[in-house]
Structure 1
Amino acid sequence: MNALTPYPLAASKELLHVLAGCAAGGFPSPAADYYEPPLSLDERLNIRAPHVWLVQVEGDSMRDAGIFNGGLLVVDRSITPSAGHIVLAYVDNQPLVKRLAKSPAGWILESANPDYPNIAPSQYDSIEVFGVVVWSLTPHAH
């Protein structure tokens, strides 16, 4: 083979086609010819549920958690937040994405970038957890 050829486009515009297994970062896999049945991305991410919200990320305070500027988060309001969850919280009515953590002084919101400080409730008038981040989608081409 002397040239790369584009893979044919899927016939269906309503469902995504999913390749079985994982994409190898090294050598081609003999399983590459096996395909899974189509799947709906909105069903997989549960984004049509009334308790699920989408939010676009601005900034890089969570970059070390794999959440990047311009990414899209799927936030589930039905999950009870607990330590270790990445949450969307309103700090003095401003939305922020942080990791929920427990300290000896109580709950804190941790950044995943050393350039940003953690947030303690004593520093602000109000902190309300809106929901738990369940998916992070990062664009790689525009």
Structure 2
Amino acid sequence: MRVYPFIPVPARAGVHGFENPAAEYTQLGLSLDELLVQHPSATYIGLAQGESMQGVGIFDGDVLIVDRHVTAQQGDVIVATLNGEFVCKIYDKTRKLLLSSNEQQQAVEVKDYDDFRIEGVVTRSVRLHTHCSILVSQLCMP
């Protein structure tokens, strides 16, 4: 497990004149594993495809951290298989619906005869701002 330096100063998105925070920071150890993964033996990584979950901040190409240890609750974002197809949707447990955050897409009702299985709860998503060839080669099917 690699530990990365952590600067406990928030980075502003806008360009403002301010002192260099690195001049006075105390370096703390921060592991991306510890930050992103709560249950290592029950966690896997996937890639988001499409635009149906943009309303909850998941965009095409984002890395999904999916935890199988977590029990899906009402309103959780889940990865599931529905009749052989992987989907990433908002889980409406009460009404047995899979919802997109994109209002243009209709909800999908999970019927008793459907082959439906929750594969895990999306606990984190990571946006890549540059191309990551290692990730693409590991996660994408040809």
Report the counterpart of residue 50 of structure 2 in structure 1.
59
Structure having the larger proportion of residues in strand: 2
Report the counterpart of residue 5 of structure 2 in structure 1.
17
Larger Rg: 1
Report the counterpart of residue 85 of structure 1 in structure 2.
76
Q: C-alpha distance in 1, partners of 2:107/2:123?
A: 21
Q: C-alpha distance in 2, partners of 1:41/1:75?
A: 15
Q: How does 1:1-142 map to 2 (within 5 A)?
A: 14-26=2-14, 27-30=16-19, 32-33=21-22, 34-46=25-37, 49-102=40-93, 106-122=95-111, 125-142=114-131
How far the C-alpha of 1:126 sits from its partner, in A, is 1.7
Structure 1 vs Structure 2 CA RMSD = 2.2
Q: C-alpha distance in 2, partners of 1:46/1:86?
A: 16
How far the C-alpha of 1:87 sits from its partner, in A, is 0.4
SS at match of 1:16: strand
C-alpha change, 1:101 and 1:28, in structure 2 (3 Å) is farther
Q: C-alpha distance in 1, partners of 2:116/2:92?
A: 14
SS at match of 1:50: helix
Structure having the larger proportion of residues in helix: 2
The 4+ residue runs of structure 1 with deviation greater than 3 A are: 28-31
Deviates more, 1:72-81 or 1:94-103: 94-103
Aligned identity (percent) is: 28
Structure 2 unmatched ranges of 5 or more: 132-142
Contact 2:39-2:67 at 8 Å conserved across structures: no
Report the counterpart of residue 9 of structure 1 in structure 2.
none
Structure 1 unmatched ranges of 5 or more: 1-13
> TM-score by structure 2 length?
0.78
Contact 1:88-1:133 at 8 Å conserved across structures: yes
> TM-score by structure 1 length?
0.78
Contact 1:92-1:124 at 8 Å conserved across structures: no
Give the letter aligned to residue 65 of structure 1: V
